[in-house]
Structure 1
Amino acid sequence: MADNRVVEGRMVTPEKLAELIEGERVMDAEAIEDADRECPECGGNVLSVGYMPSVTEFVTGYKCQDCEWRDTDR
């Protein structure tokens, strides 16, 4: 099942999207979903992905499909 999405003109997997948000490799990532909100910087579509940066932590990350904006629920 391919959950790949286009982000900033590149096709990314859930793991790659989580890496873009986190800035480093993650242990595991869930499917990419639409976050139902607009990017505060460019007004583009925002995607969300749940991921585990470590064994003890679960984070929901948000990434604009059109620009470099990113955020987490930390």
Structure 2
Amino acid sequence: MADNRVVQGRMVTPKRLAELIEGESVMDAEAIEDADRECPECGGNVLEVGYMPGVTSFVTGYKCQDCDWSEIDDED
């Protein structure tokens, strides 16, 4: 099952997408999904991925497929 998606012209895995959002390596990531929203910067399609930046935390990250915009929804 390939959950890879194209982001800014590159194919990324869920873990790689999470690392792009977080800015560093992450422990684990769930499947990439389409977020039901548009990028506030360019109007492009936004992807969402749930991931664990560390052992004790879980966050949802959002990343535009077309530009550098990203956001983290920290549920803690």
**Fold conserved (TM > 0.5)?**
yes
Q: TM-score, normalised by structure 2?
A: 0.96
SS of structure 2 residue aligned to 1:42? coil
Shift, 1:69, TM fit: 0.0
In structure 2, what is the Cα distance between the partners aligned to 1:54 and 1:19? 12
Aligned residue number for residue 9 of structure 1: 9
Q: TM-score, normalised by structure 1?
A: 0.99
Q: After the TM superposition, which segments of 4 or more aligned residues of structure 1 sit over 3 Å from their partners?
A: none
Letter of the aligned partner of 2:22 in structure 1? E
The Cα RMSD (Å) is 0.4
Shift, 1:46, TM fit: 0.2
In structure 2, what is the Cα distance between the partners aligned to 1:66 and 1:53? 24
Count residues with an aligned counterpart: 74
SS of structure 1 residue aligned to 2:18? helix
Shift, 1:17, TM fit: 0.1
| Structure 2 gap segments, 5+ residues each | none
Identity within the alignment, %: 84
| Structure 1 gap segments, 5+ residues each | none
Aligned residue number for residue 69 of structure 1: 69
